[in-house]
Amino acid sequence: MNVLRGSLDTFSLADLLQWLEINTLSGRLTLHRGDERRTIDIKRGSVVFVSSSRPEERLGIFLLRRRLLATEVLYEVFAENFATGKNLTRIIIDRKLLSRHKLAEAVEALAMQVLLDLFLWRGASFEFDPTVKTEDILRVQLSLRGQVLAFHGAKSIDDSRRLPAVPKEPAKASSSWESQFEKSVLSDTFFRILEDVNPSGAEIHTVKDRFRQFHLFAERLREKMKAPFRLVPIFDDTAALVRAAFKRDEKPEPDHLIQIAALDPALTLNLLFFANALRTGNDSRVGTPSEAAEIVGPTALRTFFDLVARPGHLVPSSDRLERIFRRSSLSTAVSASYLAEFLEIDPELGYTLGLLELIGGYDALRLILETDLEPGPFRAAVLNEYRPMYGRLLAQKLNLPEAMVDLFGTSGVVTTESPDTQQLIFFAKQMVPTERIGREFTSEDPELADRYASLASVPELAPAIAAEIDRLRQIVSFQ
C-alpha cells in the first residue's frame, strides 16, 4: 500500500480511523493544520500511541503535571529521549520508573484528550504511511479502537455545538506557508524571480532546466519544513571537548558545559530546543544556554551533553562548508556580545543570537547547493525568497523566543524601526565584514549608518573583538 494523503474536510477522522480498523492496517497517521502537527501510531487497526507538536500535549509534560514522576527524574528521562530518539515510554519502562499499567493509563488519557480535540479540527490535511513500523509497547489498543473513538468524537462534536460560539482566532501568517508550495504559486514565484534577475529574457532550454530544478528544490524544502525537528549533529571536536570534560570530572560543572556549547551553533541550538520543550502555555521561552541549564537542572544537563557527544552521528569539523559556516557564526557571536551593551541587550543573548543567526537558513542553503541550479543571481534570489519562511518556521518548531523567531525569519533589510536584536546582528556583521557569508544584512537607513559609525569609533572595540575571535579559533583548532 502506498502513502495515503487527503483532507479531513473530505475524509473525516472518524471515517479514517474506522477504515484503518476494519482493514487492520498498521502505520503512522500524521495530521497537519498550519504549524500544528499530530501523529497517531496504528497497530493492526488500533491506536497505540499519539504525539503532538504542542509542548503541553507531550507525554513527558503530561506525566509532570500529574506528578507521576519527580521533576529531576523526568527531566533526565527527557534528556535521553531527546538526545537518542529512544521512545519515552520505553525508557520509563526499562528504568522501572513506573509500572506498565500506570504508564498505560497516562498514555491512554493523553491520547484520548488529543484525539477528541482532533475531531474538531477543520482545514487539516492527513497522511497515512504504512511503511512506518509501529510498536504497541503498553498494549493500550483495546480501549482505543477506531469505532469507539469515532463514537466519542461524534459526541465531542455534538457537545461543542451546544456551547456558545467562540470567535475564531485569526490564523497566524506563518500557518499559511504550505500554500506557497502549491503548483500555481510556485510557477508564479519562479517567473517573478526570473524576470527580476533576468529581465531581458533567457534561452528556452535554460528556462526549462531552471524551472525543473526550482520545483525540485521547492519540493525538498517543503518536505523538510513538514518534518519534525531532529537534533542537529554537533562538531566532532566539540564532542571531544565534552568527552574530555567527563573524563576529568564525572560530574562536570554546568558552566563548563555551557562554555563548550558556545563553540558550536548546533550544540547551543539543541540545548535551547531541549529546554524550551519543557516550557508550556504562558511560560517564557529561554534564549541562552545559561537559562536553558537553569531550566533543565545539572543532572539532566550532564545526561544530555554526554549522550549528544557520543560517536556515531557527528559532523567533521574539517568539512570545508562547515568550517566556513562555523567561522562566520563565531565571529558574529563575539562581535554581537561586545556590541550588546550599547543596545542594552544581555551580552550572552547577543552572543547566542550571533552564533545561531546563520543556522536559520542553513538547511535551505544545503538543499539549494544539492540542487543542480547553476550558481548566480537566480539561485541567490531563490534562496532569499524561501530562507525567511524556512527560518521562521524552524524557530517556531523549536519553541524559541519571539526575538529569535523574528531574527530567523527576517529578510535581512534593517532600519531603525527594526527590533534591537536585528539591529545588533546588522552592526555585528558590519564589524567583521570579512567573515560574512549567507544572507547579507543590509540597510539604506542613514540614521542606522550613523549609529554604526558611532559604535565603530569606540576606542579598542575592534581590536578586542578580533582578539577574542582569534582565541576561540585556537580552541577549536582553526589556527
Residue ranges per structural domain of the chain? 4-157, 236-475
Summarize pLDDT for 262-304 with one digit per residue, the tens.
999 999 999 999 999 888 776 789 999 999 999 999 999 999 9
Q: Which residue has the higher pLDDT, 257 or 141?
A: 257
Distance of alpha carbon 279 from alpha carbon 283, whole angstroms: 6
* Cα gap 462→456, rounded to integer Å: 7
**CA 466, CA 431: separation in Å to the nearest integer?**
10
Q: Is residue 140 a contact partner of residue 46, using CB atoms and an 8 Å limit?
A: no
Side chain identity, residue 339: L
For residue 168, pLDDT over 50 is answered with no
User: The C-alpha cell of 459 is what?
Assistant: 576606542
Identify the DSSP state of 253: -
pLDDT tens track for 457-472: 999 999 999 999 888 8
- The number of residues making up the chain comes to 479
Close Cβ partners of 472 (under 8 Å, ≥ 6 residues apart): 263, 330, 334
C-alpha cell at 88: 519515552
| Angle (deg, nearest 10), helices 183-197 and 204-226 | 130
Q: Answer yes or no: is pLDDT of 157 > 60.
A: no
* Residues whose CB is less than 8 angstroms from the CB of residue 115 and which lie 6 or more positions away in sequence, other chains included: 40, 47, 50, 144, 149, 152, 153
Distance CA 306, CA 152 (A): 44
pLDDT at 35: 72
Q: Per-residue pLDDT tens for 265-276?
A: 999 999 999 999
Neighbouring C-beta atoms of residue 327, cutoff 10 Å: 17
Rounded Cα distance between 288 and 258, Å, is 10
Is 3.40.140.10 the CATH number for 236-475? no
Query: Cα(41)–Cα(48) distance, rounded to whole angstroms?
Result: 6
pLDDT tens figures, 201-254: 667 677 888 899 999 999 999 989 888 888 999 999 999 999 999 999 999 999
Identify the band that residue 400 occupies on the pLDDT scale cut at 50, 70 and 90.
very high
Reported as a single tens digit per residue, the pLDDT across 23-74 is: 889 999 998 887 788 888 888 888 888 888 887 788 888 888 888 888 999 9
Instruction: Provide the 8-state DSSP code for 43.
Output: E
